[in-house]
Amino acid sequence: MAGNHFPATAGNSRLASAVTRSPILILILSLLLLSIIFFFSFQPHPTAHSSNPNPFETSFVASLERLLSSRTPIEIRDDTVSSPNDADVQRLDDLMRKREDERLSGDPLFPTSFPIRVYVYEMPRRFTYDLLRLFRDTYRETSNLSSNGSPVHRLIEQHSIDYWLWADLIAPESERLLKTVVRVHKQEDADFFYVPFFTTISFFLLEKQDCKALYRDALKWVRDQPAWNRSGGRDHIFPIHHPWSFKSVRKFVKKAIWLLPDMDSTGNWYKPGQVYLEKDLILPYVPNVDFCDAKCASETAPKRSTLLFFRGRIKRNAGGKIRSKLGDELNGVEGVIIEEGTAGEKGKVEAQSGMRKSIFCLSPAGDTPSSARLFDAIVSGCIPIIVSDELELPFEGIIDYRKIALFVSSSDAVQPGWLISYLRSITPARIRDMQNNLVKYSRHFIYSSPAQPLGPEDLVWRMMAGKLVNVKLHTSRSQRVVKESRSICTCECRRPSMTSPS
């Protein structure tokens, strides 16, 4: 090669001469070279599975750290406005109706066909990245506890569905795996509008006055958008997964779609007319324990010597009063472990150990009809015993819970001896079948980055497709600016000294 000169040596000359005179040696060297090329060419290329046994991230903290360190948030210039007028709203309505007509003529399954098209608002950083950084930077603090001794950061993790959905929607399309939803960058293309405001983080980690101001600002920002005024918010999605978050301003967004932990009907958490199944969607809590996969399930199956296990707060309010009754009834019964516990790190370890040693896990109502304990049991391979008369479960209509859980009425559960007698009557064959199903069904309850097909993020959009027809029907062609009062109530935020409803 030009510019590269190597000095000739006696050894080099003799080798060159030998090679030139020996066709056999040339053949041998050629075959050796081809063998080396063949060997390396057909080695299996490293894949996500071979280089990393867990190719997707299920830890909120780890996923968040990766997102904040790998992406520099930039304010994208989108088509939001500071204060819409009738012309802005009419213009957007005309564009959206034109796009819908085009899709309807080209797709006979519209408006329920996939992918669902979602417009993600580019809200100011104080509503999104600043709150995520606040969580990340204060995560290791141990003094920030709720009144029952549970770290507020753990409660935020349990209700972090807002993060997982948003992280998937904003990820580069080349990194996404879901085919049921796509992010659009023009409002006229959207089926739904996602509001990425982290209501739970702000509720627990901000001072009262700061939280009050942030709630007020976020509400005004969203209600100032033409898309909101076009539909009255009916096609807007709000993650309000903690029952206390965004509470005092909810009446101003009651037409929007809320992502909730359950449909509490006692009036303690939601006012009448605010939440209902036709409008809103129930999402599972983020599990507080590690997933017991097929290998784990196989190893723990012969070691499950406890018949029934429960660890958590026994004294609860509202619908959770059933816990104390069950505690009294089951206390001291052979094969049953009923323990008082909290959601701290020690509590997580003890709860996980107990669930993996048990056949059945008690899942009574908490302060609301639901409880994070149900999803901890599912991913632990412990058959849930659901004692909650008014519970609506996530993704009902897609998931058949009868294959993985047993449902018991409150009146039966507190009858002396009834529950234990019932559990002991379950055949070993049925128990094995349900345990096998738990391993298969766990994928529906494990949030991850990237979001996985048939994971909870995917099922959200499958369920949302069923709401699209109703949304379109309520957004008429002659939609005008919503004439609702724009007065904003005073936000009643709470400091992190409150008790978790989980």
Q: Which of 282, 316, 334 is the last residue of a domain?
A: 282
pLDDT in tens, 15-50: 344 434 454 544 444 444 444 333 333 333 333 333
pLDDT in tens, 180-235: 999 999 999 999 999 999 999 999 999 988 998 999 999 999 999 999 999 999 99
Whether residue 89 contacts residue 164, with contact meaning beta carbons closer than 8 Å, is answered with no
Question: 407 in a domain, yes or no?
Answer: yes
Is 399 or 1 the better-scoring residue by pLDDT?
Answer: 399
On whether both 191 and 313 belong to a single domain, the answer is no
Please give the tally of structural domains in the chain. Answer: 2
How many percent of the chain have pLDDT more than 70?
A: 77
The domain in which residue 107 lies consists of: 60-282
pLDDT in tens, 360-404: 999 987 777 778 899 999 999 999 999 987 789 999 989 999 999
Q: Which of 445, 461, 495 is the last residue of a domain?
A: 445
On whether both 212 and 332 belong to a single domain, the answer is no
C-alpha separations of 231 from 48, 72, 408, 471 in Å:
43, 33, 41, 9
Question: 502 in a domain, yes or no?
Answer: no
Q: What is the mean pLDDT of the chain?
A: 81
Whether residue 241 contacts residue 259, with contact meaning beta carbons closer than 8 Å, is answered with yes
On whether both 308 and 247 belong to a single domain, the answer is no
Whether residue 484 contacts residue 133, with contact meaning beta carbons closer than 8 Å, is answered with no
Separation between Cα atoms, residue 466 and residue 277, nearest integer Å: 11
On whether both 385 and 434 belong to a single domain, the answer is yes
On whether both 249 and 344 belong to a single domain, the answer is no
On whether both 253 and 313 belong to a single domain, the answer is no
Q: Which of 422, 445, 468 is the last residue of a domain?
A: 445
Is 70 or 320 the better-scoring residue by pLDDT?
Answer: 70
Helices 10-21 and 23-41 pack at an angle, to 10 degrees, of 100
Backbone angles phi, psi at 349, to 5 degrees: -60, -45
